[in-house]
Structures are given as structure tokens and as C-alpha cells.
Structure 1
Amino acid sequence: MQHRIPNVGKGGGPRRQWKMVAVVAGLALLAGCSEQQSEATRFMSGPEAAVGAVLSGELTTASPINLNDGARYSPHWVCPGEANDVVTSYVLDAAFPGVLTAFDKEGGFLGVVEGAVDTPLSLLVGADHKSCTLIVVSGSSATSFGPYRLVPQAHASAEPLALDESLIGSLGEDGKASHVMTLEQAGRLDLSLSSGGALALTVRGEGREERVQACSDGEQRLEAYLEPGDYRVEVATAAIGNALAATSGCGDETLVLGNAYRLTASVDDLASGMRNEGPLRGGDSITGVLESGAHNRYRLDINEPSEVSIELSSAHFDALLSLEGEGQSFSNDDGGGGINGTDALLETVLLPGRYDIEVTAYGAAGGDYGLEMHSSPFEGELRNSGELALGESLVGVLDGSGPNSYRLTLEETTGIRVVLGSSSFDAVLRLHGNGVDISDDDSGGNLDALLSAVLEPGSYTLEAQSYSGAGAYRLEVVGDAIEEELRNGGEIGVGDAVVGSVSPGGTLDYELVLEEAATIVIEATSPTADTILSLSGNGVEIENDDADGLGLGSRIIQHLEAGRYGVGIRTWGIESDIGVVRLEVRG
């Protein structure tokens, strides 16, 4: 008579062909008689050992053959010992890829695991396992030969569950067990449970509760994004009425008998890989998948004032990125550029606190995306209002609630240059006071704002505004006292130097008076505009743009007879309200 040792897949169904073992019916046991079972009740003969003893043997050409695939096998009866109040684990030490199969005394199939040379198989025997069990060691193919040992180790109940270490335990009489687990930092928890039957696996703590489905062979995996804190991992027999649905294909290398189980926990720091939620930290570079019309949310914790850059890129949709928290709300659509010009970029300075990051798409599109974050301590001065001095540069944050205002006080006539720059929003700059009210949007390039003006002594208000968007900005104010006369027209002569202010499309008109013939040099320069200089009168008509050595300034050198001449200055490229021009006449 032949009995077959089945090899059943992890999901409870066949995964490979049945392993067959030739056995003679009614063969008397030669290995002795167990106190728990008589020889006559066992369906196969084999050496017997108590739980906790080493099981050893060798697969040779003389070993019994599995008639199905030709692999050799060796049986062992494992029976309860005198002291059986702990969980015992066995690890297969073999020179060949092995298979471990378990049967009860009548030949009923209890379980099977199959491994590779570099993946040791293990066996767990619970304290409640009171009957003798046949453990069959076989090779994975007809070419598997060599010695083997099943090395035992006893395990007492261990309360804490440490990361990156296996915990072996057993259920209590009530069918439950629990372990404390501590996470020092936020991360993605990967928790695996190997057991001999469908158990409920639950993680509770820090306001969270996570559960997983039970695989039909008892192997379970739980993945969840958890905050730092203390958690309790609970293992319990799944009640029939509340049993979690079984799933297949979980995979494991552990054969479990009785109420024993193995728990293993690890935490990924989440700096890379694919995930659609969880914490976001400096240096993270992750990928995700956005479902059509959905929103993926991440969490950002800031412990100190920090400069933060977050970029969302995708080749599949027009990226929208938003940040909210601590009274601030920022968003960006196409600031990141990218292949299609539709990536999103947020660059700002954040104060300590918790922020929510939302990834979404313009329209109903979706698909894969990349999300990168970089942060560094903010070492400058963060100021959203107050006094502003010449030569000062500061960083502020617009939160979308309105402009940030600063006070600028001048003691003397001064030519100033104010720049408001941001990579997060379209900057708008306004200056008003003392009868002056000027503003600018994009004169600084890249959506930055630039104002250049000559101001009389007095007090002025500078407003940092946004045409669209919000976030961090840098505000710089520079200026020099104007020693020249401030004049937008009138008579000038050799040796005079004046400063005028010109609006876009406007001109400055002066009258040059010469008492005697002379060769003169006239120069018009500006820090913000391309000047075009003209000279006319007494038969002279000359114009110059971009003179050598003056950049965008202009120069006319001409011998002139005594008389009166018109000197005109117009500008090219002024987008702000006022440009400052210096005019000098030399002999």
C-alpha cells in the first residue's frame, strides 16, 4: 500500500504535485511506543523524539523515494516531552533545498513549507500541542541529498515586540496574546505573523487601529504608516462570526503546530519608495499614484524655522501642490516646470508646527508622480512687518490673507532700488507715502517685482503683495544719497549733473546752454533702464543708444557752437512706474 504526502500551496490549494511516500500498511513501529499513542494507531513508522530534542538524518540513495517526483524523504515522530510549557522552534540546517511536511497520527495533513538553500525552513511547536506528529523532511527534487538537522530552541513568553527581531509566542487559554511595540519615529510598519491557523492581527495606539486579513495558512502581513509612540500588537483566534476573510499567496517559510506564532516587525524610514500618504521629511524622494479625481495627503512636521522646497512632478497630469497649517495656506500649479511645464513647486520658510501636504491634479486626470522635499534650517531674519532700513535684506512669508507692510524712513534725498522676489508666487511691490504711490509686478524678471525711484526725505510704506499664490519671499532695499540736483527738466550747462525720474513711455527734456563753442560729452545712465539720448538744435540732430563702457547707458560726444540745444532722454525697457536717470554734461 502507498500513502501520499500532499504538498499544499500557501493559499490552501495545490501548488505543486503531491509528494508520495511508499509505506507498508500495518507496519509495526520499530522506534518504540509513545505514552500518548500506541504503535498500532500510527500510519507510518519512523524514529521518535520528544519535543525539544534534535532531529537529524541524511537523505541518501537508500532513503525512501517519493514515487511522484523521485525526491528522497525521511520521517520523524515528534511527541510531547515531560516539560512542555514553552514554545519550541526548529530550524532546518541542510545542504539541500528542503521541504517540511506535517501529519497527524492518522495521516491527516497538517501543513507544509518549502524553501531554498539560502532560505532556512523553520518549525514551531506550541505548548498546547499534545499529540505526536509526523514531521517528514524531504528534498525538493530527485537530486537533493545530504545530511540535515532540525535544531531546537525553547522560547518563553516575551512581552515587548522589538523592531527587526522575531518574537515567538503562544496564545493564552483565552485564545489571545498581546505585545507592546514602541516606534521612535514615524515610518511604514511592516508586521508579519506566522501561525497554525487564521488569527486576527490588530495594531492599536496613538489614535490608530489597523487590522489585516488572515491568510488561509495563517501567514499574515500588515503594512501601515504610523506616528511615533507606543502601540499594542494583538493576536487572537478569529471568531467564526467575526473571522476576517482569508486570502491566498501570502508566503512563509515556517510550519506551525498548535497555538504558537512568530511575529516580526520592521519599520521603513520612508525616505524613498512608493506611498500615497504618510510623513514627508527633508531628503525624501518618493513616488506615488494619484487616482483620477483623488487627493493624496502627506504630513509635514517642522521642529525649527526651516527653508522648505517641495516639488511634485508627473508626466501624466498637470500637478497641483498645496500646503496648509499653522495659519498658512500655499499652493502652486506650474512653478516646477518639468517636461510638459506642468510640475508644481513650493518654496517657502515654515515655522515650527504641523502642516498638511496635498497632491492633486488639474482636472480629473491621474497617474504616477514623483514627490521630493528638501529642507534646511533657516538662518536669516524672518520678518513680516516693521521698520526697514537701506541696505537691509530680509525674508518674509505671505500667507494669502493680505499684504505685508514695512516702514521706510529717509533722512535725505535718496535713489532707492527695492526688489521683491519669490519662487512661490507672482510678486507685486507697492511704495506709497509723501505724495508718492508707485507699484510694480514683473520688472525684476521671473515674476519678481522691482521698484527704482528717487525719493525726498520722509516716511514711506512698502507693501509686499502677491498677484497669485503665497509663500516665502526675499525683500531687499538698497539706496544712495543723491548729491546731484533732482530735476526733470530745465537749463543745464557744462559741468552740471542732474537726476530725473521718467515713467514708461515718457521723456526727460532739458535745454543745454553754451556760452562759447566747445567739444562736449553728454552721458545718460540708469540702473533700471536702457537710455536713449538725443541732441538737437542749430543744425545738429544726433542720437545714441548703448555707448561703449556704459552698458545700457548712452553717450554723445560733439563739437558745438555757442547757443541753445535740446537734450532729450527716453528709455527702453522700463516696466515699473518710475525709472531713475542721471544726466551729466562735461567739457
Structure 2
Amino acid sequence: MAKSASTVTLAALGGVAVGLVVGWQLPNATTPPVVDDAVAEGNELPTLQLGERQRGEITSASELNGKDGSRFDRFLLPLEEGTLIEIELGGPLQGTLALYDAEQQLLASSSNVAYYDAPAAASLRRRIDADGDYLLVVSGHDLHSYGPFTLTSREMELITSDTLEMPSRADGWLQDGSDDYTLTIEESGLYQIEMRSSDVDAYLVLEGPNGYRREDDDSAGNLDARIADFLEPGEYRLTARSAYGQNSGLYTLELGPHELASGETLRNSGELAIDEPLHGWFSGESLNYEFTLESPAAVTIEMLSSDFDSYLELSGNNVHFSDDDGGEGLNARLYASLEAGSYQLTARSHGGHGSGLFELRASAIDIDDLPSNGQLEVDSPVQARLESGARDYYELVVESAGHYRLDLLSDDFDAYLELEGQGLFLSDDDGAGDLNARISTRLEPGTYRAIARSYSNSESGNYTLQLYRE
């Protein structure tokens, strides 16, 4: 059964004293002390009651950790099954915390990083699996760490439930496993589920009617998970876990309708009209659109999404183009000079992962209206500057058939070169070595267009464009 909560109730923490930092060096993480039988039995150890504040001090007379030379102190901590505890170490001592069970097994430890001036408070969290007396060990970071300390403890009270509502917000605790929830969708629509945590690498799995299954790792940014999808009515099973290993920690689930612009209609197929953007919903399956050009044109198509890494493929009339991140961030932007005719466009995510809302838009410029940066002649290199996001167009007039080589060279950006005309559509990224581009091919007499740009469509800098007959 999952344990979740719509609220987290925290007992008030006691104040933390700030004083002189002892042992200012940056040590390696302290090795937890070996727990002997006397420790396990709790003989003559002071007792720390959950919710109370306790003071102590690490001195040269404190017990010695033979592994690294640090000193430590011990406290008996009676705890009940199901209790979620947090213990914080404050005060001048630069130290760490470790919690052991009655079988002397290490259950949890703090991972405080020491700083020169103001060390952050060390703390640990743990959900208790069984009633009993536990051992809390306070250690210095290294053999130079001494000083007074303050222990404060609290119980984090989470409401237990294995059922979630839409919309809702719930706080849960993972402990070496996963939490399973039941979620009922009353009306079909666009929904979003997020799992956020500063303790674990969040991972979500959603399963539902008719074999529905979606999973996600990092779509919400950082190590947080997000599933955004169109859900039909029915009962779903939501699994919240860590992506790797058996990690423990606090997490928050947030469920609700997806934020979709008001009045937008989703289209997952059909015609993509020039200068008429449309919105669609990607759910793991490639989506197909088509468009028609009445005359030759330079076409730019963009797929924008904040939910997944978009990817575009364009085919038709013996051409094929694709793009992953040619736009801003993880958005796809595809540019191609196309002849008149019908074309097919495939919209999907990179690798087929993720799901969510996207915008698709296309624009076109008639070939005859394209700006010209001049004419490129054989053995007459052109030196120019490419502006960010720009494409420079050059006209080539081939008077006699032969084998020609076209180079785009730059020390400032990753060069990308395209050549079109007389039914020919060629492109190259790094064919000239390093990040320079080269197209080497046979050209028949006629007029061609060379297009100089950067691979990412966003870089700028100086370049040389040159044409040779081989």
C-alpha cells in the first residue's frame, strides 16, 4: 500500500547555535564507527526522545573511531513502526549523523559537506520499519573535529492513502522500493502528473485501460519526472519510484489538467497549411501531416514543445530531410528548398520518448524572392560574415558539365552547406574536416544555388565559400 499525503505536518525545530568551526579542513566523508555489543544493547547510553532537543559535545575524551581517527558520541532513540523521522545536527561541531537498528545495521547517514566558514547542518531522514530502540551516532568529520552540538528531532506526519484524486497534490516517502496509487479519470482530456524530489531521481509509470502504459524519468527538468498525456476515462495505476537503485527520500506528486491555451483545437493528422500554425498531442506514436507547394519555395517548418524533445522528418519528390534540435532548446526546425509538389511530414519525439503538447508551424518564401548574397564563380573564393540565425544564398552558373567541389570554411561556427538546382538537392556538415563543410559532385550546365549556414542555425562568424572544378 502506498503512503502519501496532501499535507506534511512538521514539529517545530529547536534553534541551532552558531559558533566557532573546529577542524576547518575539507575532509572525506566520515566512516561510520563500528557498533559493538555494548552499543547495540544501549548500556548506559543517554536516551533521545523523538521531538525533544538534546545537547552534547565531542572532545578528546569521546570514543574513538579507529577507522579515521574521528571521535563520536551515542544516543538511544526509541521509535515506533511507520514513523517518518528527521534528525538534525546543529552547533559548532562539524560532524555527521548515523542511525543503526538493533542488529547493528546502518540504516541512514547524513551527507553534510563541510565548508570553511559556515558548515550546513547535517541531517538524516528515515521511515522506521519496526518498533524498537535505535542507535544514533554523532561523529566528527575527521580527527580534527571537536566541539559542542545540538540534536533536534521531529516526526513528519504523512497521511496514508493509496488513492489519488484529479486534481490533487500529495507528499510521499520512498524507502528502498516503490509506491503504487490508484487514480480514476472521470472525463477524457489532457492531464499532467509530476513527481518532484530533492532526495531521489524521480521516475513515474502510469498504466490504464486497454493496455495503456507510459513512463518517464526526467521530463520535468533536473531529476524530476512528468507524464503529460491524453487520458480516457477509467482506472489507472500510478507507480512512483526512483530511477536507479534503492534510494529513500521525500517526494511530491502533483496531478491536474494540462495547461492548454484556451480555445485551441488539437490536430494529430491532416494538412499543414503554410502560415497557419496548429497544435497537436504526441503520445508515443509518430504523427503524419501533408502539405502542397504550388511553386518552388524555401520552406521552414518548426515543432515546438515544452513537454518532450521534438523531431521532424520531411519526404516527397525524391527528397528526405530530418532535424532534431535545429530550433531553440530541444525544438526541431527543418529548412529545405523544395520544388512544387506534395510532401509528407512526420512529427514525433527524439527516440520516441515522452509525450505532450506541441505546436507545428510552416512558412515559405518563393525561390525567386530569396535574397541573394551575390554570384559565386570558380576559383574566386568569397569571404563574408554569417549573422546568427541567417542563411546566405549564392548563385552558381555552370557553363560546362564536370566534377565540382564546393567548400564552406569557418573558425567561428560549425559550417553547414547546401546545394540545389537542376533537380539536385545536396547538403553536408563536416565533409571538409573539423567543422567545415564540403560538397563534391558532378554538375550539369545550368543555374544552382549554394546556401551557407551554421549547423545549429544560431551561430555566427566569418567564413570562406569557394568553388573549384576538379
TM (normalized to structure 2)? Answer: 0.45
Work out which structure has the larger RCO, using CA pairs closer than 8 Å and 6 or more positions apart in sequence. 2
TM (normalized to structure 1)? Answer: 0.37
